[in-house]
């Protein structure tokens, strides 16, 4: 079993991005610039957004965090999006999800200029991705592709089972891994809450991608020997013995599944860090006008 080490890999990619940024600055260019918008006080969102801003600083990007209380109106949030769309100094921005119930996340996502949508959530980017045009790929699926690619994991012809059909992970991941590309060319099964005999599907998988947000959902009896297991879950579970009172666990029962795998991602230290790095890569692509010219 080999660990897919998101900590090492994300640091390697950050080092590569930093070299690029240093070159841009040495040539008299301005810093690439990413802005994050955070509404409310969801502790997980706060922690993700802080990690995104910190990572920008590490690679030499300009960054800003716009924080608003959870009672911000939808209109005021849409105005912030509009300002960022029109601010030429901003290469890309994200609005951290989830949003409070009175705000329609689809409306907000669709208000983001696709050229600055470095999360890759806008339907224009998802549509372009689907037909193989240049697009910002959604950060988590893109991070997983990067991981598979850098560890030289063969995907062509493999049976891939994805658990969870969210707009930001499972659904785009299913499209990306079934495309005629490398990584790609998988036979993909997308499992969800209405899937019958889910365990039978998972047992067939050469590659399992767990993205359902249920702690330790994938257990050893579901995993074929030699499978590649990618754990997207980041679940907080009570841990009174810890200073913070909780610990993070994935969607996979790591301890018992790991010995069966050829490769597996840990939580923390796996996919989560790759998501942040994808955002940086997309921001650099936006700065270079690589996607939309
Ligand atoms: N919430 C969970 N993951 C993400 C992400 O990648 N981007 C945004 N904007 N919100 C999220």
Quick one: pLDDT at residue 247?
Answer: 95
Whether residue 144 sits in one domain with residue 69: no
Contact 24, 32 (CB under 8 A): yes
Distance 28 CA to ligand 1 centre (A): 33
Number of compact structural domains in the chain? 2
**For the CA of 95, the nearest atom of ligand 1:** 9
- What average pLDDT does range 207-222 have in this prediction? 98
Quick one: pLDDT at residue 66?
Answer: 98
Average pLDDT, the chain: 97
* CATH number of the domain enclosing 42: 3.40.50.10860
**For the CA of 140, the nearest atom of ligand 1:** 6
pLDDT in tens, 46-95: 999 999 999 999 999 999 999 999 999 999 999 999 999 999 999 999 99
Rounded alpha-carbon distances, angstroms, from residue 85 to 53, 110, 276, 281:
19, 12, 21, 19
Distance 123 CA to ligand 1 centre (A): 15
- What average pLDDT does range 262-288 have in this prediction? 97
Tell me whether residue 284 is in a domain.
Answer: no
Q: Which of 109, 112, 84, 91 lies closest to 99 in space, CA to CA? A: 109
Confidence category of residue 134, pLDDT binned at 50, 70, 90 = very high
Q: Does the annotation mark 119 as catalytic?
A: yes
Instruction: State yes or no: pLDDT of 293 exceeds 90.
Output: no
Confidence category of residue 112, pLDDT binned at 50, 70, 90 = very high
Which conformational region is residue 196 in: left (phi greater than 0), alpha (psi within -120 to 50 degrees), or beta? beta
Q: Give the number of residues written for the chain.
A: 293
Rounded alpha-carbon distances, angstroms, from residue 41 to 36, 70, 112, 279:
14, 7, 22, 22
Whether residue 253 sits in one domain with residue 184: yes
Q: Which domain holds residue 34?
A: 27-113
Quick one: pLDDT at residue 275?
Answer: 96
Q: Does the annotation mark 52 as catalytic?
A: yes
Q: Does the annotation mark 69 as catalytic?
A: no
Prediction pTM value: 0.96
**For the CA of 279, the nearest atom of ligand 1:** 6
Quick one: pLDDT at residue 237?
Answer: 95
Whole-angstrom distance, CA of residue 22 vs CA of residue 210: 37
Q: Which of 179, 181, 35 lies closest to 116 in space, CA to CA? A: 35
Distance 94 CA to ligand 1 centre (A): 8
Pairing verdict, β 246-249 and 235-238: antiparallel
């Amino acid at each position: 079993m080999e660990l897919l080490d998101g900590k090492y890999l994300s640091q390697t990619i950050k080092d590569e991005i930093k070299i690029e940024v240093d070159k841009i600055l040495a040539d008299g260019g301005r810093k690439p610039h990413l802005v994050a918008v955070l509404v409310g006080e969801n502790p997980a969102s706060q922690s993700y957004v802080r990690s995104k801003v910190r990572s920008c600083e590490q690679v030499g990007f300009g960054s800003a965090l716009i924080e608003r209380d959870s009672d911000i109106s939808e209109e005021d949030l849409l105005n912030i999006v509009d300002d960022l769309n029109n601010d030429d100094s901003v290469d890309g921005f994200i609005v951290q999800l989830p949003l409070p119930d009175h705000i329609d996340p689809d409306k907000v996502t669709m208000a983001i200029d696709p050229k600055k949508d470095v999360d890759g959530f806008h339907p224009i980017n998802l549509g372009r991705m689907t037909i193989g045009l240049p697009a910002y790929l959604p950060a988590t699926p893109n991070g997983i592709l990067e991981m598979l690619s850098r560890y030289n994991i063969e995907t062509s012809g493999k049976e891939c089972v994805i658990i969870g059909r969210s707009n930001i992970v499972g659904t785009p991941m299913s499209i990306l891994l079934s495309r005629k590309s490398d990584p790609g060319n998988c036979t993909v099964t997308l499992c969800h809450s209405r899937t019958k005999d889910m365990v039978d599907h998972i047992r067939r998988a050469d590659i399992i991608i767990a993205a359902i947000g249920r702690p330790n959902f994938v257990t050893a009896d579901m995993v074929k020997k030699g499978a590649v297991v990618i754990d997207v879950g980041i679940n907080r579970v009570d841990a009174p013995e810890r200073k913070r009172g909780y610990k993070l666990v994935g969607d996979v029962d790591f301890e018992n599944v790991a010995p069966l795998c050829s490769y597996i991602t840990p939580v923390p230290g796996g996919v989560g860090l790759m998501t942040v790095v994808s955002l940086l890569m997309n921001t650099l692509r936006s700065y270079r006008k690589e996607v939309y010219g």
